[in-house]
Structure 1
Amino acid sequence: MSSQEGKIAIITGANSGLGLETAKALVERGANVILAVRNLSKGEEAKQFIISQTKTEFSSRLVVMSLDLGDLQSIKRFAESFQATYNQLHMLINNAGVMVPPFSKTKDGFELQFGTNHLGHFALTGLLLPVLKKTEDARIITLSSIAHRGAEIYFDNLDGEKGYKAGKFYGQSKLANLYFAIALDEKLKEASSNIKSIGCHPGISSTNLFRLGRETSPWFVKLLLPLISQSAEKGALPILYSATHPDLQGGEYIGPNGAGNRKGFPAIEKPHQSAANREVMDRLWHRSEELTGVTFALEN
């Protein structure tokens, strides 16, 4: 990765796992990184961990800010606070997520996974668009997952009130993330914007997501995960590649190049056919605008 000196990045969910490793790598290359986290104390712990693993002078490059993606008011406050302080944003990395929790809802009444993983990042991106438009070669990186394969969008049951299966709703949220990344890049290109939207996924990486809504990971996860997964450090490589590789044009989907795209080094990957339905993509965009109240002012 080339020098990222002077660039500004926001990473959601940067206090652990992929977000933490991404933040560590970017700050080592000279970037200024905002750790956008729900729990400020954990964010400060992450900041101190990064400093301890790198150099003490990196302290000024790391800023912890409060962001709850399950609360639209928190997202709005974060976007306003960031734009009151910064006039550029080179990298918005939509990383945070929840995976297969028991049925619950966000503060705004959305099913937790769809509301946090997709709608929260949709709203955040739209609200930060003004500062992204001021920045040369800005990038929006949205994390999907191999769980998008075979998933679908349950338009008649987005809130889960008609029935909830945690795995299927996780797949829905990750399919929504990918549709968002693709649709956003198309809209940016139509508006002749220099902002690039890129989707990516980490394969199967050993992170806190595999606690599966529990305090600790189940025994079978602890047994099997080392056999099929890669480290969070390696899982962060597709994110870093998406955020910094100079040859990317926007609209790509980046994932590991190993068998089943579960492990390996970053490479351009073709999304599963689940993400190829134009009608679903357009319907999801409009429904997301309705639910969040956020629209994208894409014109310069």
Structure 2
Amino acid sequence: MTGQHKIGSGFGFSSTADDVLRGIDLSGKLAVVTGGYSGLGLETTRALVKAGAHVVVPARRPDAAAEALGGIAEVDSLDLGDLSSVQGFADRFLASGRSIDLQINNAAIMASPETRVGPGWEAQFATNHLGHFALVNRLWPALVAGGGARVVSVSSTGHRRSDIRWDDLEFRQGYDKWEAYGQAKTANVLFAVQLDALGKDSGVRAFSLHPGGILTPLQRHLERSEMVGYGWIDEDGNPTQHFKNTEQGAATQVWAATSPQLDGLGGVFCEDCEVAEVSTDDSPGVRPYAIDPASAARLWTVSAELTGVNAFG
């Protein structure tokens, strides 16, 4: 992993996806964006298409995705909580013979009521991490085929809420929706650390990021009173000043996927279109446990055992 330190990108909190793509031509590039039809994902898809990329959006609700995208992107079916669905999408894509230049693992659920999917997995860990883990491993032939792909794992500051609960990954000993979200977001960071370590010799680099606070359908499981209590919105439902709009919120994942400023780097956590610093207090940055190489390797092994998929096994 490269040093987790700022590089002086020149971008920041208010930069938009269009800002970071200015001067970048993505013609001939293919991007896969999970959840690329809603919230930050939709803005990410729009920006990439505007820069010339062909975008494939695998969606749990393909009809809704097609309607939201209005024909600007290719839509296929994918439920990240169902490993057979993940395999189905990957098989269809690989059969097309195309390579992937950019993969943005953007789809997520947050603070959901206790839900079990697959063989009884906790849904946030399964959807946000295990589904994406299986997807990337199954798509690996297409990622290496282009000779220089990037995989972007969308995490958040939510990773600060919990390290990986090695003794109770599935919350069998009592469920807490925010701890479960925190564990899943830490997993997103660790996934990028290990994927980069495994993939860089094949030309595949991985990054993780915090997009910022943005009000999107991700908050669907939260009551308005909860969000007022957190200071996210006022009594009228308006976002507070520390929130970004979707154009700003999509910027860091687009920057991580495309910026030449990151050439030669990988395995780092980004925020506000910049490589983040390591933080152990309330200052911005990434927690040390989320970028620990030993934990990243351990989580990869556990995830491969759970999903039965490992491109490097």
TM-score by length of 1: 0.87
User: Deviation of residue 218 (structure 1)?
Assistant: 5.7
Q: 1:167 aligns with which of 166, 172, 178?
A: 178
Structure 1 CA distance for aligned equivalents of residues 125 and 244 of structure 2: 26
Question: Using the alignment, how far apart are the partners of 2:79 and 2:130 within structure 1?
Answer: 12
User: In the alignment, what sits opposite 2:275?
Assistant: 268
Query: What TM-score do you get using the length of structure 2 for normalisation?
Result: 0.83
Between the aligned partners of 2:102 and 2:300, the Cα distance in structure 1 is 22
User: In the TM superposition, what is the alpha-carbon distance from 1:280 to its structure 2 partner?
Assistant: 2.4
Residues of 1 paired with 2:40 and 2:139: CA distance?
22
**Structure 1 partner of 2:312:** 297
Structure-2 residue corresponding to 1:245: 259
For structure 1, the residue ranges without an aligned partner over 5 or more in a row are 49-58, 257-265
Q: How far apart, in 1, do the equivalents of 2:153 and 2:249 lie?
A: 14
Q: Percent identity?
A: 39
1:286 maps onto 2:301 in alignment: yes
Distance in 1, matches of 2:101 and 2:132, equals 16
Alignment partner of 1:226 is 2:235? no
Q: Is the 8 A contact 2:161 2:183 kept in 1?
A: no
Asked if the contact 2:161–2:178 (Cα under 8 Å) also holds between the matched residues in 1, the reply is no
8 Å contact from structure 2 (residues 37, 68) kept in 1: yes
Structure 1, residues 36-82: CA drift from partner, whole Å, max 9, x if none? 1100121111211xxxxxxxxxx4x5111101000000000000001
Larger relative contact order, structure 1 or 2 (CA cutoff 8 Å, min sep 6): 2
Answer whether contact 1:149 1:272 (CA < 8 A) is retained. yes
- Report SS of the residue matched to 2:266: coil
Q: Distance in 2 between matches of 1:237 and 1:226?
A: 19
Tell me which residue corresponds to 2:206: 197
Within 5 Å, give how 1:55-134 maps onto structure 2. 59=71, 62-134=73-145
Corresponding residue number in structure 1 for 2:47: 25
Cα distance change on mapping 1:280 and 1:225 into 2, 3 Å: farther
Partners of 2:40 and 2:54 in 1: how far apart?
A: 17
- 3-state DSSP of counterpart to 2:207: strand
Unaligned runs of 5+ in 2: 1-20, 278-285
Of 54, 60, 69 in structure 2, the residue corresponding to residue 38 of structure 1 is 60
Q: Which residue of 2 aligns with 1:139?
A: 150
The answer for the alignment partner of 2:283 in structure 1 is none
Answer 1 or 2: which has greater helix percent: 1
Measured after TM superposition, the shift of residue 297 of structure 1 is 3.1
Q: Distance in 2 between matches of 1:46 and 1:65?
A: 13
1:140 aligned partner, one-letter code: V
Per the alignment, in what secondary structure is the counterpart of residue 267 of structure 1?
A: coil
Greater than 6 Å deviation, 4+ residue runs: none
Contact preservation (8 Å) 1:146, 1:201: yes
Q: How many pairs are equivalent?
A: 275
* Structure 1 residue 137: Cα displacement: 1.6
